[in-house]
């Protein structure tokens, strides 16, 4: 222990920050859906959103405003709104509606979302929770067999029992009512036109139908008819129209979601859930009518003189990213650099420690008090950092810490699977949106109603309500929001100005992806696109996952020699980042997905 502490002191720690700023431009090089290097899809583990191709992307610079999202048509819709004088929140609504149509496996109004919004006028940061919640009639035994043992995750995803009350549309309405500039009904034109006239099916959407998500869709007539017309999966380039979604969009365009939460669409959602041929659910119209977006306090912490702000519980993203960075701040990563094995040993070990705390303490704060201040206290993180041995890996699973004296909880190690998308926007006034939006697993529950898919978010709860006589914080309870790993992030520089807007999809690995991105941007001063292009690495208090066919594999043997179990696998992040400087914006889009950067 003495040796570790001496090295920690020698390698150093750092400073402080606060604040905001703005700017934006770019060139649209055409609607390039995917080119380049195909990736093998063989997996030993289910990953509903697999990498279909790696597409080489260059950095994009703008001077006024910028949009980065997971599909060119969605980005184009957002930029058109900005060009018409709209602000970031207006563009966000347009982007989300198009993503629902063209990237239905990842997000939509049948799911939930978390938003960080930087308001340039008031220089304030607002955090909105649009996470789904459990129906009133659930109980903590809903995922148990008759013998009291947890049922298999794969058996519980399809159908109505896994569907949480959707929150994305309520979040869009809430955010627009407070911060939008253009009229609500003008934000749907692009999505309605594409759903009416059709859009070209992308390679990623088509390829996704070959996997586990596609098999789930085929269990339900409505979804099968849409995604497998005449029994054939949609192919790249097919023209796909969605007349049901046109009707839904026009209704929402008129009534801002009243019909979705209290009217005809609500009735259609409830019928789909309760009449599901698999795992019929218990949601009713009163559950939809009760849904509310919640404004939460952002989780902000200091790292190398920057203020890193993320989403608090019920997302574990902001707290766990902050813990990883808080532990790493006791080591001089800048001195080590991105090519030194010690950098990634430290990153992996910090991930183990942070995930151990996440699994025990974090859940819906309206049901379980989240000890955020204690978990992010500098002395506590210093003690956690002191557990890292520079020469060997900690045996997993690492135990959670004791940030306070009495802990009477049992950990939940359930890992959410990626069916998620991220949007980053900065407008000409300097307002910024960091939105992570999801339907949970790829294609959600498989239930398709009113032209959109319903989530399977309730499988993010612990299936086991207690263990060894101690309750699990993330157990199922009525009207509770399941723990998430989404980590929309906004970073302020040492001078207090807005500096980075970022986030990623990727299930519980979102936390690792975002933390790694922040290290690349701040410690290694990488440009956004270079940082996004890095190979991925993740440790969630178990084996170390390293992205196959990337330069990160160079560190696999060292990590193994220190005692880690290392798996080489597809790691399908979807990081979208904007760097804000006084005279320009620079954007990066993840090459693992179809996203692009557009600005002007």
CA gyration radius, the chain: 22
Which secondary structure element, helix H or strand E, spans residue 544, and what is its range? Answer: strand 544-547
Of 321, 331, 411, the C-alpha closest to 372 is: 321
Catalytic member of 21, 168, 420, 449: 420
Taking CA atoms, 142 is separated from 458, 480, 582, in Å, by: 10, 14, 53
Give the span between the Cα atoms of 480 and 472, in whole angstroms: 13
Q: How far apart are CA 159 and CA 446, in angstroms?
A: 7
Burial class (CB in 10 A: 0-12, 13-18, 19+), 205: buried
Tokens 């947890």 -> residue: 150
CA atoms of 163 and 454, how far apart (whole Å)? 7
335, 336, 338, 344: CA torsion to nearest 10: -140
Q: Round to whole Å and give the CA distance between 440 and 434.
A: 18
DSSP conformation letters of 194-254: HHHH-EEPPHHHHHHTTSHHHHHHTTSHHHHHHHSGGG----TT-EE--HHHHHHHHHHHH
Alpha carbon distance 292, 167 (integer Å): 8
Q: Other CB atoms closer than 10 Å to residue 274's CB: what's the count?
A: 15
Cα–Cα–Cα angle for 522, 506, 312, rounded to 5 degrees: 65
**Residue 293 a catalytic site member:** no
Residues involved in catalysis: 420
């Amino acid at each position: 222990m003495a040796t570790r502490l001496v090295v920690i002191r020698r390698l150093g720690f750092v400073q402080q920050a606060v604040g905001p700023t703005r700017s934006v431009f770019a060139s649209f090089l055409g609607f390039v859906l995917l080119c380049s290097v195909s990736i093998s899809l063989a997996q030993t583990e289910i990953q509903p959103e697999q990498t279909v191709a790696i597409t080489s992307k260059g950095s994009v610079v703008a001077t006024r405003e910028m949009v980065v999202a997971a599909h060119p048509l969605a980005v184009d819709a957002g930029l058109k709104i900005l060009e018409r004088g709209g602000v970031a929140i207006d563009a966000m609504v347009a982007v989300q509606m198009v993503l629902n149509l063209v990237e239905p496996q990842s997000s939509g109004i049948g799911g939930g979302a978390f938003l960080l919004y930087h308001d340039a006028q008031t220089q304030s940061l607002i955090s909105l929770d649009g996470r789904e919640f459990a129906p009133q009639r659930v109980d903590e035994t809903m995922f148990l067999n008759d013998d009291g043992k947890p049922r298999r995750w794969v058996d519980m995803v399809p159908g109505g029992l896994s569907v949480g009350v959707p929150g994305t549309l309520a979040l869009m309405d809430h955010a627009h009512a407070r911060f939008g500039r253009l009229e609500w009904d003008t934000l749907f034109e692009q999505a309605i036109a594409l759903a009416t006239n059709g859009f070209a099916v992308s390679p990623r959407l088509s390829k996704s139908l070959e996997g586990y998500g596609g098999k789930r869709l085929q269990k339900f007539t409505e979804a099968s008819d849409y995604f497998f017309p005449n029994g054939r999966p949609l192919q790249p380039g097919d023209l796909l129209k969605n007349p049901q979604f046109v009707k839904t969009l026009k209704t929402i365009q008129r009534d801002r979601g009243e019909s979705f939460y209290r009217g005809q669409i609500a009735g259609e959602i409830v019928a789909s859930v309760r009449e599901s041929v698999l795992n019929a659910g218990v949601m009713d119209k009163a559950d939809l009518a009760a849904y509310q977006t919640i404004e939460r306090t952002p989780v902000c912490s200091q790292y190398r003189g920057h203020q890193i702000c993320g989403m608090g519980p019920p997302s574990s993203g902001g707290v766990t990213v902050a813990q990883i960075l808080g532990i790493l701040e006791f080591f001089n990563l800048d001195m080590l650099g991105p090519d030194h094995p010690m950098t990634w040993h430290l990153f992996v070990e910090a991930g183990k420690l942070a995930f151990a705390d996440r699994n025990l303490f974090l859940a819906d704060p309206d049901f379980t008090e989240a000890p955020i201040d204690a978990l992010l206290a500098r002395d506590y993180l210093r003690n956690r950092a002191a557990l890292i041995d520079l020469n060997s890996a900690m045996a997993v699973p690492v135990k959670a810490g004791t940030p306070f004296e009495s802990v009477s909880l049992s950990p939940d190690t359930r890992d959410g699977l990626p069916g998620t998308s991220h949007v980053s926007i900065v407008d000409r006034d300097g307002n910024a949106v960091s939105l992570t939006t999801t339907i949970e697993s790829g294609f959600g529950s498989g239930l398709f109603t009113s032209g959109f898919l319903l989530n399977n978010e309730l499988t993010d709860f612990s299936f086991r309500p207690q263990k060894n006589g101690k309750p699990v914080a993330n157990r199922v309870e009525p009207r509770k929001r399941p723990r998430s790993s989404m980590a929309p992030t906004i970073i302020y520089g040492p001078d207090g100005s807005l500096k980075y807007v970022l986030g990623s999809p990727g299930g519980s690995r979102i936390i690792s992806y975002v933390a790694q991105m922040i290290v690349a941007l701040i410690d290694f001063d990488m440009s956004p696109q270079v940082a996004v292009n890095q190979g991925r690495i993740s440790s969630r208090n178990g084996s170390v996952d390293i992205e196959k066919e990337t330069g990160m594999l160079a560190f696999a043997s060292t990590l193994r020699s220190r005692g880690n179990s290392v798996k080489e696998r597809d790691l399908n992040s979807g990081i979208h980042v904007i760097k804000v400087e006084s005279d320009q914006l620079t954007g990066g889009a993840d090459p693992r997905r179809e996203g692009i950067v557009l600005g002007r």
